[in-house]
């Protein structure tokens, strides 16, 4: 399988509109500090799946020459993770969409004009798509209702995506996500900044250690990090277009 981080930014993206901090200035030059909103592309020899569809989806699909999507899985109903689904208008109809019942209920109210084909998926229950096994696990990300992380397994390799979440991941989920080959973790800020809804880099590092992740990459990154080339000396930050192949 091949995983591409299409977007590694937090909700406003980087640069933030109107901001002239060093990271946003660096991002305006087109460097790796520039971060579009969340979407992850998962590819196998059988097809292509999107995990979340942030508002920058049109740009991301053009940039990566993505011609067709076999399914979309949503982690939760925050606009920075689903609003870009509207970009399928007059491009691809009846897209298969997957997620928890409550999440689909909320998002499909917004995108029902596209008539996606709905697949309600229960927690902790593997399902197959494009020859890969996906499992949704419970995380905590207030005030989002029923947010999930996602495990992807190709039979040999295990990838864990936390989605947006706090460090206090429920015990059952912690059991399921042990020993991944790759952990893609929400780490919105360095520890100097206090946030409640997301993990900071210290918490994401601790999570990687607790589940014995072979490799970890941080995403959902804000402009509070130093410019990318400086920040990666301290933290394993992802960047838009970063690829992992197994
Ligand atoms: Zn988010
Ligand atoms: Zn800024
Ligand atoms: Zn969120």
Per-residue confidence (pLDDT) for residue 102, from 0 to 100: 97
With a cut of 90, say whether residue 176 has pLDDT above it: yes
* Segment 106-165, tens digit of pLDDT: 999 999 899 999 999 999 999 999 999 999 999 999 999 999 999 999 999 999 999 999
CA of 26 to the centre of ligand 1 (A): 22
Ligand nearest the Cα of residue 37 is 1
* Segment 196-212, tens digit of pLDDT: 999 999 999 999 999 99
Q: What is the spatial distance between Cα 20 and Cα 206, in angstroms, rounded to a whole number? A: 32
pLDDT mean over 7-21: 98
CA of 78 to the centre of ligand 3 (A): 5
CA of 231 to the centre of ligand 2 (A): 14
CA of 222 to the centre of ligand 2 (A): 8
Q: What is the spatial distance between Cα 155 and Cα 238, in angstroms, rounded to a whole number? A: 25
pLDDT mean over 83-107: 96
DSSP string over the chain: -EEEEEE-B-TT-BSPTT--SHHHHHHHTTSTT-BPPPEEEEEETTEEEEE---TTHHHHHHHTT----SEEE-S---HHHHGGGGGGTTT--S-EEEE-HHHHHHHHHHHGGG-PEEEE--TT--EEETTEEEEEEE---TTSSS-EEEEEE-SS-EEEE--S--S---HHHHHHT-S-SEEEEE--B-TTS--SSS-BHHHHHHHHHHTT-SSEEEESB-TTSPPHHHHTTTS-B--TTEEEE-
Q: How confident is the model at residue 194 (pLDDT cuts 50, 70, 90)?
A: confident
Which residues lie near ion ligand 1 (Cβ < 5 Å)? 78, 80, 164
**What is the percentage of the chain residues whose pLDDT exceeds 70?**
100
Per-residue confidence (pLDDT) for residue 70, from 0 to 100: 98
* Segment 202-238, tens digit of pLDDT: 999 999 999 999 999 999 999 999 999 999 999 999 9
The structure's pTM equals 0.98
Ligand nearest the Cα of residue 9 is 1
């Amino acid at each position: 399988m091949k995983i591409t981080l299409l977007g590694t930014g937090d909700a406003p993206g980087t640069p933030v509109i109107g901001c002239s901090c060093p990271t946003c200035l660096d991002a305006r030059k087109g460097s790796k500090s520039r971060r579009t909103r969340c979407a992850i592309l998962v590819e196998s020899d059988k097809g292509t799946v999107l995990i979340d569809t942030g508002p920058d989806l049109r740009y991301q699909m053009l940039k990566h020459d993505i011609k067709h999507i076999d399914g979309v899985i949503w982690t939760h109903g925050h606009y920075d993770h689903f609003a870009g689904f509207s970009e399928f208008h007059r491009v691809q109809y009846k897209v298969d969409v997957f997620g928890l019942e409550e999440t689909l209920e909320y998002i499909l109210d917004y995108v029902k004009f596209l008539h996606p084909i709905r697949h309600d998926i229960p927690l902790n229950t593997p399902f197959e798509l494009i020859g890969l096994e996906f499992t949704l696990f419970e995380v905590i990300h207030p005030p989002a209702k029923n947010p999930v992380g996602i495990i992807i397994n190709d039979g040999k390799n295990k990838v864990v995506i936390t989605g947006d979440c706090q460090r206090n991941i429920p015990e059952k989920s912690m059991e399921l996500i042990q020993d991944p080959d790759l952990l893609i973790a929400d780490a919105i800020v360095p520890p100097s900044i206090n946030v409640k809804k997301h993990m900071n880099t210290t918490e994401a590092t601790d999570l990687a250690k607790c589940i014995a992740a072979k490799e970890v990459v941080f995403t959902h990154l804000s402009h509070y990090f130093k410019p990318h080339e400086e920040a990666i000396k301290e933290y394993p930050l992802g960047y838009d277009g970063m690829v992992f192949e197994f």
